[in-house]
C-alpha cells in the first residue's frame, strides 16, 4: 500500500518511523508527506526516505492509494472531500471533524460516489466493539465519557485542584476542545450520536496520564471501561494508544482476519 500523510507532528512522525524505518507493515510505506511549510521537516523526510510536499494539489497527484490525516480537525474539513474526489481512501485521526452532521453527510456521499473508504481508528479509547454490537438491533440507553487529563494539557490557567472544565454533549465538547476530545466523537459514532453522548472533561494537576472512563447502559447490560493512557513525550495532550490505533487500523484494512 502506498500511503500519503497529512501532518508530520507527534503522530505523523511516529507513523513515518514505524512504517518507513521499522517496516511495521510489509509492503506499506509513506511515500508522500504534506506539510504547511517544508522548513524543519527535511531531515526527517530524508531519514525516512519520503517526499515532502507543501502544495496540496501536487500531493494529491502523487502515486498513493490511501491518505492518513494526522493534523487537525480543521484540516480534515479542508482536505478530506478532495481526497475522496481524487479516488483515494482516507484514514482520519482528527475524527472530531465528523461531529458536524452536514460535513459527515458530505463525506458519506463522496465516499459512495467515488467507491472509496473512510477509516476511523479507535484512537485513545476502546469499547467501540461493545457499543456497535449493543446498537445493532438492541437499544443503547446512555453513553458517558469522563476524560481526565493533566491540567496543563487543557488550560493555560493555573489549576490548584481538579476542576471540571466541561460537562455536556459530545458535539459541544469537541467544538470547545478540538485537540483534546476527539475520543468523544468516535464514541458517538459507534454509539448514540454526538447529541446524546455525555462528556465531562476534568483538568487534574495531580495526574500524568490521559484517563478516559466510559460507561454505557442498554438492553445488552452495562459497560464500564477505564483507559489510563501514557501520553506521548512530544505532545502530552495525545496518548500513545492513539498513534498505535492508526497502525492497528492500517493492519486491519488488509488483513485476512477481522476481529470485532
Ligand X SMILES: O=C([O-])CC(=O)C(=O)O
Residue 210 in the binding site for ligand X (CB under 6 A): yes
Question: 169 with 193: CB under 8 angstroms?
Answer: no
Question: 242 with 187: CB under 8 angstroms?
Answer: no
How does DSSP assign 90-154, residue by residue? EEES-GGGGGSHHHHHHHHHHHHHHT--EE---TT---HHHHHHHHHSS-EEEEEEEEEEEHHHH
Residue 68 in the binding site for ligand NDP (CB under 6 A): no
Cell of 57: 494539489
Q: Which residues contact 77 (CB under 8 A, 6 or more apart)?
A: 97, 100, 103
Does the active-site annotation cover 212? yes
Please state, in angstroms and as integers, the Cα–Cα distance from residue 75 to each residue in 34, 85, 113, 123, following that order.
Answer: 11, 16, 22, 17
In the set 86, 206, 212, 254, the catalytic residue is 212
Residue 93 in the binding site for ligand NDP (CB under 6 A): yes
CB of 116 to ligand NDP, least distance (A): 20
* Residue of 71, 145, 174, 227 interacting with ligand NDP (CB under 6 A): 71
Instruction: Look up residue 230 and give its DSSP letter.
Output: P
- Specify the residue, 92 or 124, whose C-beta has the smaller distance to ligand X: 124
Residue 191 in the binding site for ligand NDP (CB under 6 A): no
Residue 50 in the binding site for ligand X (CB under 6 A): no
Residue 200 in the binding site for ligand X (CB under 6 A): no
Q: Among the candidate windows 30-38, 163-171, 181-189, 214-222, which touches ligand X by CB under 6 A?
A: 181-189
Question: If you compute the radius of gyration of the chain from its CA atoms, what whole number of angstroms results?
Answer: 18
Question: 53 with 36: CB under 8 angstroms?
Answer: no
Residue 239 in the binding site for ligand X (CB under 6 A): yes
What part of residues 10-49 is at the interface with ligand X (CB under 6 A)? none
Residue 181 in the binding site for ligand X (CB under 6 A): yes
Cell of 100: 458536524
Binding site for ligand NDP (CB under 6 A): 6-12, 34-36, 70-73, 75, 93-95, 123-124, 179, 182-183, 186, 235, 238, 242
Point out the residues that are catalytic.
212
Residues that bind ligand X (CB under 6 A): 123-124, 180-183, 210, 229, 237-239, 242
Amino acid at each position: 500500500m502506498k500511503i500519503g500523510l497529512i501532518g508530520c507532528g507527534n503522530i505523523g512522525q511516529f507513523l513515518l518511523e514505524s512504517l518507513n524505518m521499522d517496516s511495521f507493515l510489509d509492503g506499506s510505506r509513506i511515500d508522500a508527506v504534506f506539510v504547511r511549510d517544508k522548513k524543519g521537516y527535511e531531515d526527517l523526510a530524508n531519514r525516512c526516505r519520503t517526499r515532502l510536499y507543501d502544495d496540496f494539489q501536487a500531493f494529491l497527484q502523487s502515486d498513493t492509494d490511501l491518505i492518513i490525516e494526522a493534523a487537525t480537525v480543521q484540516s480534515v474539513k479542508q482536505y478530506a472531500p478532495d481526497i475522496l474526489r481524487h479516488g483515494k481512501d482516507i484514514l482520519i485521526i482528527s475524527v472530531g471533524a465528523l461531529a458536524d452532521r452536514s460535513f459527515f453527510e458530505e463525506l458519506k456521499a463522496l465516499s459512495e460516489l467515488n467507491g472509496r473508504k473512510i477509516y476511523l481508528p479507535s484512537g485513545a479509547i476502546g469499547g467501540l466493539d461493545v457499543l456497535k454490537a449493543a446498537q445493532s438491533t438492541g437499544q443503547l440507553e446512555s453513553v458517558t465519557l469522563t476524560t481526565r487529563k493533566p491540567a496543563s494539557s487543557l488550560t493555560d490557567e493555573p489549576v490548584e485542584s481538579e476542576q471540571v472544565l466541561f460537562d455536556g454533549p459530545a458535539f459541544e465538547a469537541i467544538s470547545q476542545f478540538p485537540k483534546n476530545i476527539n475520543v468523544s466523537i468516535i464514541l458517538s459514532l459507534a454509539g448514540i450520536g454526538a447529541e446524546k453522548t455525555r462528556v465531562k472533561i476534568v483538568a487534574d494537576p495531580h495526574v500524568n496520564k490521559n484517563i478516559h472512563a466510559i460507561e454505557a447502559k442498554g438492553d445488552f447490560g452495562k459497560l464500564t471501561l477505564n483507559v489510563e493512557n501514557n501520553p506521548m513525550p512530544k505532545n502530552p495532550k495525545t496518548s500513545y494508544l492513539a498513534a498505535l490505533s492508526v497502525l492497528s487500523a492500517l493492519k486491519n484494512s488488509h488483513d485476512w482476519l477481522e476481529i470485532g
